[in-house]
Structure 1
Amino acid sequence: MTIATEPIGSLPRSATLLHALAAHAQGTLDATDLAKQQEQAVADTLTRLERVGSPVLVDGEQSKPSFATYPVTGLDTLSPDGAVIPFADGHTRQLPSITQGPFRYQVRAETYLRAARQLTDRPLKQAVIAPSALSLLYPATPIEGYPREQFLRDLADEAEADIRGCLDAGAHVVQLDFTEGRLSLKLDPSGGVLDDFIALNNEVLGRFSAEETARIGVHTCPGGDQDSTHSLDIDYAELLPKLFQLKAGNFYLELAGEADPERVLSIVRDHLPPAARVFLGVTDPIDPVVETPEQVRDRILLAARYIPVEQLGTCDDCGFSPFADDTSTTRDLAFAKIEARVRGTALAEEVLGL
């Protein structure tokens, strides 16, 4: 037995890629040349993950504009005045909103997976955006001839196809990014929005077989952008029991950034489904200090006091750069933290006699 360890998804883009993205936005670099730069960044990401010993690889989302909006890249029926997400440091991110239906993904995550597969034969994980996040694209004022109920039906079908495409393309695991879960409790303390999110996600997850569900996971965190969070001030205890109602085989939880990890672990212990595995965050992408392998080991050993080892995995708290323009964390720092996670997980296995 070993303790599974996986990255969450995004990694900082290199200075070369950031320059290429800026040049493309300004019209001085064409799409073909940008694609070449992105492919080189993916290749470098895969190589560096192998070098630090990561048993599961990701493409680092080098070709995604953001973890949340990749499905609508190129969609010409969008308005920029969608939901605003405020962060603790005062900056905001704003989602677009759709202006007409029917809603269809313009880009599917399997395209990123298939591109990375051309560069490695190692296990590849693919992150997708949860349908609950994309439900925020529907505007507050109903669209004439395209009611919200029809939008949600279309969205569920598109999200299912996004996940299924990755499974069919050979993903080691498909991870739904559900960072809006904790945020929903800030927007609606009654929990009604969270209940709607859980129901929508389960509508999609319930369409998969038990074998497929074992390769599907859900990630949650209090946000992580420009070294700030959007919902760390919301009690994790309000989210976790409902999170574990999701029909997923794996759960990826932010933990290293929590002030009271033992309290969180006790909640996880009490609500984790018996057939599920929980990957606990043992490195904090927002903290500029690189964890030592020994610190990671000790965090895992603490977790093993609450969670059966056969249900335990490790991960980073969240992606290192969910939005392409986030330069708050350097690429070298991200890989150093990943290496600490991998080495610390191995140290914990030795102590636990695995």
Structure 2
Amino acid sequence: MSLPTEPIGSIPRPPALLAGLADHAAGRIGRDTLDALYDDAVRDTIARFEALGSPVVTDGEQRKPSFATYPLDGLGGLAPDGVVIPFADGHIRQLPKLTRGPFRYAARSESYLRAAQRHAKVPVKQAVIAPSALSLLYPADGIDGYDQAAFLDDLADEAEADIRGALAAGAHRVQLDFTEGRLSIKLDPSKGVLDSFVALNNRVLDRFTPEERARIGVHTCPGGDQDSTHSADIDYAELLPSLFALHAGVFYVQLASEPDPDKVLATIAAQVRPEQQVFVGVTDPVDPVVETPEQVRDRVLRAAEYLPPDRLGTCDDCGFAPFGDDVSTSRETAWAKVRARVEGTALAAERLGV
């Protein structure tokens, strides 16, 4: 297939793993048993991706507690009452709050990548959380003896190490999850927060060479959790100019769920820089209806009216279960949508003659 296609990241956890997580939390099974369940889930996830013909795979984030908080897994110095993220259906997610410094990652993405590579026969990509998201851990009233500037210095160092470790371990690409970009405009229409997010992310990205940045991507979507979103009501045109100001080589842009894809594609075409490649979302994880390969094909062909095929790829709009406890989408529905994306992209490539 000459049109590349990649998953975004998470796949719903299998029932055995979900039951094991509950049993471990209740003290009914030990860590060794849970680790074996994790490994089984990763092995099965990669095998299913490969059986569907996916040219690039992920571990489905089976081991992560969530796409956003994996660096905090096991970290002390946190309080539970951090930033609240409200979703359109009324439910919330809440980040923890840092209570002391210095800030250090307790877990790095390289460990997930190496565990996945043991099972994969095709390239593996690795999703990481953008430093801008973790900047929200710092409390508004500050931390005695650890000012925000010192925290951001530490955060930039830790984020760089997380990305660099995955690149050095052989990740096909490292994808920064930047769902807070669109949300920031909802919380601050002046875009001051968005500007600070872009500046922080570029502070990290600028530490990499142009060749390395060609393997670093940024994913944007309006959030996806329990079949709801947190910022789909924000006009994409408000975000996209700032998005493409990020110094990354690849962008994964949610599009399948957009009501006016032509408007979004025209904005992308006007903003994307010559060295940047765009993967457009062609399946919607929030929608329980499974797309057909022909629907995917037509979405790709529409995108090709705005972007040249040699700079175009496809992806899912977002992960299918970015938070470990999200069971709103079944594992089988996710695989059906992955199949449609892979097959539909191939149909579009054939139609485009590439």
- 1:70 is aligned to 70
Task: With the length of structure 2 as denominator, give the TM-score of the two structures.
Answer: 0.99
1:143-168 per-position Cα deviation (integer Å, ceiling 9, x unaligned): 00000010000000000000000000
Amino acid of the residue matched to residue 184 of structure 2? Answer: S
Shift of 1:308: 0.8
Alignment of 1:259-298 (within 5 A): 259-298=259-298
- 1:130 is aligned to 130
Q: Distance in 2 between matches of 1:159 and 1:121?
A: 28
Shift of 1:31: 1.2
Q: Is the partner of 2:341 in helix, strand or coil? A: helix
Q: Is the partner of 1:114 in helix, strand or coil? A: helix
Q: Distance in 1 between matches of 2:128 and 2:117?
A: 16
Q: Distance in 2 between matches of 1:272 and 1:197?
A: 19
Shift of 1:35: 0.7
| Count of residue pairs brought into register by the alignment | 354
Query: 1:299 and 2:299 equivalent?
Result: yes
Shift of 1:121: 3.2
- 1:247 is aligned to 247
Q: Distance in 2 between matches of 1:140 and 1:29?
A: 39
Q: Distance in 2 between matches of 1:254 and 1:265?
A: 11
Q: Distance in 2 between matches of 1:161 and 1:33?
A: 30
- 2:118 is aligned to 118
Shift of 1:76: 1.6
Amino acid of the residue matched to residue 37 of structure 2? Answer: Q
Listed as ranges, the gaps of 5+ residues in structure 1 are none
Q: Distance in 2 between matches of 1:43 and 1:298?
A: 33
Q: Distance in 1 between matches of 2:248 and 2:49?
A: 26
Q: Distance in 2 between matches of 1:249 and 1:27?
A: 45
Amino acid of the residue matched to residue 269 of structure 1? Answer: A
Query: 1:139 and 2:158 equivalent?
Result: no
Q: Distance in 2 between matches of 1:99 and 1:325?
A: 26
Amino acid of the residue matched to residue 62 of structure 1? Answer: Q
Alignment of 1:63-102 (within 5 A): 63-102=63-102
Q: Distance in 1 between matches of 2:25 and 2:270?
A: 49
Shift of 1:284: 0.2
Q: Is the partner of 2:348 in helix, strand or coil? A: helix
Query: 1:43 and 2:39 equivalent?
Result: no
Single out whichever of 21-30 and 138-147 deviates more from structure 2: 21-30
Q: Distance in 1 between matches of 2:316 and 2:120?
A: 22
Shift of 1:317: 0.1
Q: Distance in 1 between matches of 2:338 and 2:222?
A: 20
- 2:24 is aligned to 24
Listed as ranges, the gaps of 5+ residues in structure 2 are none
Q: Distance in 2 between matches of 1:262 and 1:2?
A: 24
Amino acid of the residue matched to residue 177 of structure 2? Answer: D
Q: Distance in 2 between matches of 1:71 and 1:162?
A: 9
1:8-53 per-position Cα deviation (integer Å, ceiling 9, x unaligned): 0000001110000111111111111111100000000000000111
Shift of 1:117: 1.0
Shift of 1:268: 0.4
Q: Is the partner of 1:29 in helix, strand or coil? A: coil
Identity %, equivalent residues: 67
Q: Distance in 2 between matches of 1:253 and 1:288?
A: 20
